[in-house]
Structure 1
Amino acid sequence: MIGPIPPSERAQRARQAFEFAGPDLRGLVLFDDQFIQYYSGFVFIPTERPVALIITREGQRVLFVPRLEHEHARETGQAEEVCSYPEFPGERHPLQLLHEHLQRLGLAPGPVGVDHDGYPPVMGYSGPALSEGVSVRRVSTALDHQMALKSPHELSLIRESARWAAHAHRLLQRYTRPGLTEGEVEARATREATQAMQAALGPGFRSHNRWINGAVALYRGQIGPNSALPHAININAAFQPGDNLVTGASAGVWGYLSELERTMFLGEPTPEQRRYFQHMLALQDLALEHLGPGRTCAGVDRAVRAYCEREDLTEHWRHHVGHSLGQRIHESPFLDIGETAVLEPGMVLSVEPGLYVPGLGGFRHSDTVLITAQGVEWLTNYPRALDALVIPIEEA
């Protein structure tokens, strides 16, 4: 039975963080909930009350939490110590108390590596910068690099996510009918897929993902002409014959996720829809050809843009080719012309070049792939060809 990241792996991450962040740092102070989860396993909902993870060079992890999270952090986190403060803003500001813990641990006056210079503005939070009491250096990019290199256990969770994302998407495609609304189709597909996943993975299973809970398949408002908006939101549209449909599916599996998206049609597509669909498919194939160890992220995006220019499609281009993902729904590096990163084995990326035609619709497939020493491994597995993505009206 597939399980969460073991405590030993999270402890190893904490010790290895300094190989990425820098050997001269006395410690790390991290406020981002995703970094805190990555190194300690503590999953929480960020509010105005500061939460921080301190990591010493020896790998000791100290969770700094509000009193209301103390038991939660002790029971579910994997830090060696949990310390708490009464409340925010409190008689003494939590950041003042955090400085005292840094002094107690011998990390002041620094330098310490940080993701933010103090707790970021969340739900009305305000407070002093961490640098008012200790020397800091931003290390987010270095830690993002560590997070981008997935371990075998992380990959097993992403593969499991991809499997259940495909199941949810099959249900979404099966239940889509003219006259129904996106809300009822999404709810049915997501409910049934989540129930099946939870039954298969057992009573102890948890999604533990901030963005995806269960196995989810959605339209997100990308129905008919509205599918030309790459980041539309649910409008509870009713499906109609001829609709151009853009989907999204994923599953949260012990904190990790995948990305699966498809362009479908309700009834036979028009010649114009077919033409843009085939261009979109060619763009994704081209992007995949340019992926591999030692290749540049910028090179992938540059190849896609060149195709758009040759085929007079640039006015329908809206975003870069893709992004890394795993614990976060979007991680770095990005398949973008401005990204300097080189692809390495262990990186997991979405590949999702799209075309968006106002008045007609959007055309985007997204698949999750792994960079290997030999090239690329597909982690998502769902039909890509046009014929498999047409929903016949007589069967709808």
Structure 2
Amino acid sequence: MNAETAFRQRLAPAVYDRIQTRLRGRLDDEGISAIITDDPEDVSYLTGFFHHSGERPVAVYLDADRTVLLVPALERQHAEEQSARAEIVDFAEYPGLENPFLPLARATPEAPRSVGITTRMTLHRLALLQAALPDTAFAPTDAVTRARFVKLPEEIALHREAARITDLMLETGVALVREAVAAGGELPSEAELAAHVGRDGVGRMYREHADVVVISFLAGGLVYAAANSALPHGLPSSYRLRPGDTFMLSLGAAVGGRFVEGERTFVLGDPTPEQRRYHDAVRDAQAAGGRAIAAGVRCADSNRVCLDVIRDAGLGGYLRHRQGHGIGLGMHEPPWLEDGDPTVLEEGMIVSNEPGIYIPGHAGYRISDSMLVTADGAEPLTAYPRSLDDCVIPL
């Protein structure tokens, strides 16, 4: 694929201008005059600078007029090459001979007395910030988090491409198992299957995309079978698939730093009545959950509608988690489709719809799609078939 036809992962500078304007519109509502965040996802959201988070602080200061990006000196060139949409200031090193936040203080001599900080900032970082800006009062705010809830059209395009890659990885994983069955040899292990789909997703991205945004996770996911899949976030092991197994491909991709997840549960060979009952209950719950996700619906209410299907099927004792969660620059981020979250869904949000049941000693069953909330309901971005008949691999 040539440069003219390659999918471009990086957002244009004007998109970041709109994002920053959106956040500035929230300052008055929060009763603050500026925000400082050192959350790596917030930094990339506000400026387009993606980096490896470590002990050296990287932070964004945003007020009504300015956006300032603080980086360690060794990251300055990296930020410039990514065309970070901010004024860049740097500090020499960490822990350094001076407080790493002092260059930010010097760059913002008129810093307001009331500044919001990300709720994820550590006490250590906050102490350094207070020492650098002793006349400023800091209060936690989730303003950036809430600004991230509703995606811009350019972000949605990145999510759609991540969904396409996720669907292709699911197809690639199934194809590997089918080929092994046809060859009559040993079946792949969880770890081999996970490595295979990850290579496919990452390789496809580098072949078909320009300006790949590198983050800690680009494509791949969790693969587990039989009793291992009864652990909701179990890790791939050396366990080798066997005839009759239930197994799960829990995959996802991040394009331009924007995530999508797609999960399907498969059966290797003719399903037993028990396997069909479990799979159908989760499929019915996921379908009900998809219909419940809509603008104006509370997250808690969507969660209840979804999980009540499993409870009504007599399988509530196997529930281990909520219906889903927000998805964006984080694979898991607010809002939460859970009983305790009253957040009202809005058009442009993306949330996962992933009910599951987990039967100790047998297997887990989970089906997940990333859902875009639309004006008249919700659209699954991932499209791999969901019914058991479509998720059986004949022997």
TM-score (norm. length: structure 1):
0.90
Determine the C-alpha separation between the residues in 1 that align with 2:40 and 2:378: 30
**Quick one: which amino acid aligns to residue 111 of structure 1?**
S
Matches within 5 A, 1:98-113: 98-102=104-108, 104=109, 106-108=110-112, 110-113=113-116
Greater strand fraction, Structure 1 or Structure 2? 2
Q: Which runs of 5+ in 1 are unaligned?
A: none
**Quick one: which amino acid aligns to residue 288 of structure 2?**
L
For the 8 Å contact 2:201–2:253, the answer to whether it is kept is no
The 1:98–1:197 alpha-carbon spacing in structure 2 relative to 1, beyond 3 Å, is: closer
Partner of 2:197: 189
TM-score (norm. length: structure 2):
0.90
- Measured against aligned partners, the alpha-carbon deviations of 1:178-204 in whole angstroms (never above 9, x if no partner) come to 432222222233323432332222xx3
Matches within 5 A, 1:1-396: 1-3=6-8, 4-22=10-28, 24-58=31-65, 60-102=66-108, 104=109, 106-108=110-112, 110-116=113-119, 119-120=121-122, 128=127, 130-131=129-130, 133=134, 134-140=136-142, 142-176=143-177, 177=180, 178-201=186-209, 204-210=210-216, 212-213=217-218, 215-216=219-220, 218-219=222-223, 222-393=224-395
Q: Which runs of 5+ in 2 are unaligned?
A: 1-5, 181-185
For the 8 Å contact 1:95–1:128, the answer to whether it is kept is no
The percent identity for this pair of structures is 31
Stretch of structure 1 that moved more, 35-44 or 69-78: 69-78
- Measured against aligned partners, the alpha-carbon deviations of 1:330-360 in whole angstroms (never above 9, x if no partner) come to 1211111100100110011110010111111
1:126 deviates by 6.3
- Measured against aligned partners, the alpha-carbon deviations of 1:255-275 in whole angstroms (never above 9, x if no partner) come to 112110000011122211111
**Quick one: which amino acid aligns to residue 188 of structure 1?**
H
Determine the C-alpha separation between the residues in 1 that align with 2:341 and 2:327: 15
For the 8 Å contact 2:89–2:103, the answer to whether it is kept is no
Determine the C-alpha separation between the residues in 2 that align with 1:319 and 1:127: 33
For the 8 Å contact 1:350–1:369, the answer to whether it is kept is yes
Counting matched residue pairs gives 378
The 1:207–1:244 alpha-carbon spacing in structure 2 relative to 1, beyond 3 Å, is: farther
The 1:197–1:47 alpha-carbon spacing in structure 2 relative to 1, beyond 3 Å, is: closer
Determine the C-alpha separation between the residues in 2 that align with 1:253 and 1:29: 26
What is the SS of the residue equivalent to 1:112? Answer: strand
The 1:357–1:156 alpha-carbon spacing in structure 2 relative to 1, beyond 3 Å, is: same
For the 8 Å contact 1:175–1:189, the answer to whether it is kept is no
